[in-house]
Amino acid sequence: MTPGQVYREGAYKGVIMGIYLTLLALLTMWSEHSALLSAASLAMLCYIPFFAYRIMCKTHKKYFCTSDFASLWMLGIAIFIGGSMICALCTYAYLQYIDTDFIYRQATNAVELYKELDPENTSGLTDIIQGIIDNNLLPSPIEVAVEMLWMTTFFGSLLSMLLSAIIRKRHPKQSA
């Protein structure tokens, strides 16, 4: 694959990954209302490596298995960058305009949970989280979205490196 093909395929496949990651984020946020949604989001989270493998392997085969390791890795990075950008944008819109108190609600739920788990507050975690809430230091929706973007891109890059090696091992490079 040429560099232009890598970036083009990464952009196209990044849209697919973005839809997948957005659905995962929405199911995760809605899982506070239903255990079934929580199980579905966990299943989707566990399926990410297989989903990324399918996308990358299909693209590798599309170009007759001529991609080298670096091209496959860059393809995976491009897929995750594009997907993460779409997911972060949708998550920001959801947190900013639809479920505006989600972050606050999760922080107060964490305080309640830690009070139940550690009534004497020996770790001090309950006080720390309560202090964050009281001092209005909770992250804003844009901060959550940007952190999600960076985290997904970083771990997607690491996953892409591993998947590139697996793809190259299972589908060796052919002569062009």
The predicted-structure confidence for 64-76, as pLDDT tens digits, reads as follows 888 899 999 999 9
63-69: long-range contacts at Cβ-Cβ below 8 A with a sequence spacing of 24 or more? 63/1, 63/5, 64/174, 64/176, 65/171, 65/172, 65/173, 65/174, 66/1, 66/173, 66/174, 66/175, 66/176, 67/1, 67/168, 67/173, 68/168, 68/173, 69/164, 69/165, 69/168
pLDDT at 49 over 90: yes
The predicted-structure confidence for 122-149, as pLDDT tens digits, reads as follows 788 899 999 999 999 999 999 999 999 9
pLDDT at 85 over 60: yes
Share of the chain above pLDDT 90, in %: 86
**How does residue 176 score in pLDDT terms, banded at 50, 70 and 90?**
low
